[in-house]
Amino acid sequence: MLSKSEHEPVLLSQVIEFLHFDDENMNDVGDMKRIVDCTLGLGGYSEEILRSFPAARVYALDRDSSAIARSEERLSEYTPRFKALHANFGAMGKVLSDFAPFDAFVFDLGVSNMQLTEARRGFSFQSDGPLDMRMDLGGEGKTAAEVLKNLSGDELAKVFAIYGEERYARRIALKIEENRKRGGTLETTAELVALIRGVLPAPVQRKMGTHPARRVFQALRIYVNDELEELKAGLASVESLASSRAIVVVVSYHSLEDRIVKHTFRAWEAEEKKGIVLTKHPVCAEFEEIGKNFKARSAKLRAFRFSGEGEGKTLKQRSKSKRSEG
């Protein structure tokens, strides 16, 4: 059994509510047959979906084999309704095509608490560990330490500026280059944190209101795991795997991801006439949830519903017209 702090799914009730989206053509939850949890993690979403939709089958993906092993064991009572698959978004089409079409897809992006709190994974600037940061530990990609060793100063500055929106990107990258030239190592999270602390002016660090290394760690994690291209590939696969009235719910944690989701959903609605955006504005966590779970502060949920008819109403407009109808 997971402890509460280890396992606190973000915006869970809102995700489930969207999966129950009251639609005149799909108002029976028994219609929800096949649901994909694209980011299994500790299985919080999958578990609640399996409970809320007793007739559904859940196909859950994760690129992290330890998340698969742990959640498979934890949710074993739901076999055969629950099937975990070790794959990244880029491979979604391949691993899921035999089971398609699907009635819903949920994404809860980024890293899990389990990944964050295990120092040996290298995601955390709070605890010392090797600079790895690969979601699939021991997988094929380059580690964060290898990226810091092999990218030029200019390339690193771009990574920190684009993926971390770090104001001091160039200065930090120059310091890393200097450190390399002097034969210094940058193998652990503590070494990287110390280097960043040495670059950022002290008054800036005092006023930041967040850890001085947060942005660089975010940037490296996104780069190491190619997170933005993965997200685009995942959403493209959804298009090909979705049933005609499928629901897609995405929870993201930073503006780069949110922008991709927003633009994709808009294009599906306005240009491709594939269905409707159910969230005119993103749904955010309530104060109460943020108080209990700090991670929820930056969460943004967006939802889309495919339809064969090319409708153009948002959820708000739909509920308004429903209210005025009666």
Positions touching ligand SAM (CB under 6 A) are: 9, 39, 41-45, 61-64, 67, 88-89, 108, 110-112, 135, 230
CB 186 within 8 A of CB 176: yes
Amino acid of residue 196? I
Report d(CA 158, CA 136) in Å as an integer. Answer: 24
- If we measure between CA atoms, which residue out of 34, 8, 11, 28 comes closest to residue 302? 11
Largest distance between two CA atoms of the chain: 75
- The answer for residues whose C-beta is within 8 angstroms of residue 103's C-beta and 6 or more apart is 26, 31, 32, 33, 34, 35, 56, 243, 245, 246, 247
Min CB(292)–ligand SAM separation in Å: 15
Report H helices in the chain: 12-19, 44-52, 65-74, 92-96, 113-117, 144-150, 153-164, 169-181, 189-199, 202-207, 214-224, 227-241, 255-266, 287-292, 315-325
Instruction: Provide φ and ψ at 119, rounded to 5°.
Output: -55, -35
Give residue number: closest CB to ligand SAM: 44
Instruction: Provide φ and ψ at 304, rounded to 5°.
Output: -140, 145
Min CB(112)–ligand SAM separation in Å: 4
* Backbone Cα Rg of the chain: 21
- If we measure between CA atoms, which residue out of 98, 115, 60, 106 comes closest to residue 82? 60
The count of other CB atoms within 10 Å of the CB of residue 54 is 10
The count of other CB atoms within 10 Å of the CB of residue 280 is 11
